[in-house]
Amino acid sequence: MNGKFLVVDKSILPDYLEKVIAVRNLLEEGKLQSVSEAVKIVGISRSTYYKYKDFVFLPSDNALGKKALISLMVSHKKGALSEILNFLSSVNCNIITINQNIPINNVASVVISFEIASATLPPEDIVIELKKIDCVKMSRLLAFE
C-alpha cells in the first residue's frame, strides 16, 4: 500500500470520530467559543477531541477528485443504457468510458467511468440512485480519485 491515507466508509468507524469533526465545525463556525462547551454538546471527552482533531477530516469537494468508476448489472432491454446515461447526465457527470459485455441470461455487465468534479451528488449517492432505476440489477462504486 502506498501513502498514509485510507478511504473508509464511516459506518465501520466508531461514532466519536464523527463527533470530533462536529466539535471542530462548531468551533470553526463560531457557534461556540470553547472546546469544553463543544465537546459537552456533542458528547465526547476533551481528551478524545484533542487526540483525534488533527487526524480526522471530511473530504472536501476537491478531495473527492475528478473521476469515478462504477460497475453495473443491467437488464437486457431497449433503452436501459440510455436511461442510466440520462441519469448520470442529470447529476452533471461527464461520461469518459463505457464498457458493456454481451448479455447473458438477459443481464449485461457494464462498467462506466465518469468525471465527478461538477456532479451534484457524491459518488456513493450516485450508486444508490442508480440502484433505483428499474433496469439496474446491481450497482457498485469500484473506485474514485
C-alpha cell recorded at residue 81: 443504457
Q: Mind listing the domains of the chain with CATH numbers?
A: 13-52 (no CATH), 67-144 (3.30.70.260)
What H or E segment, with its residue span, contains residue 110? strand 107-115
**pLDDT tens, position by position, 65-119:** 589 999 999 999 999 999 999 999 999 999 999 999 999 999 999 999 999 988 9
Cβ(70)–Cβ(130) under 8 Å? Answer: yes
Task: Kindly state the average pLDDT of the residues 16-34.
Answer: 91
pTM recorded for the entire structure: 0.59
Q: Is the pLDDT of residue 63 over 60?
A: no
Higher pLDDT, 8 or 14: 14
What H or E segment, with its residue span, contains residue 97? strand 94-100
Q: How many angstroms separate the most distant Cα atoms in the chain?
A: 62
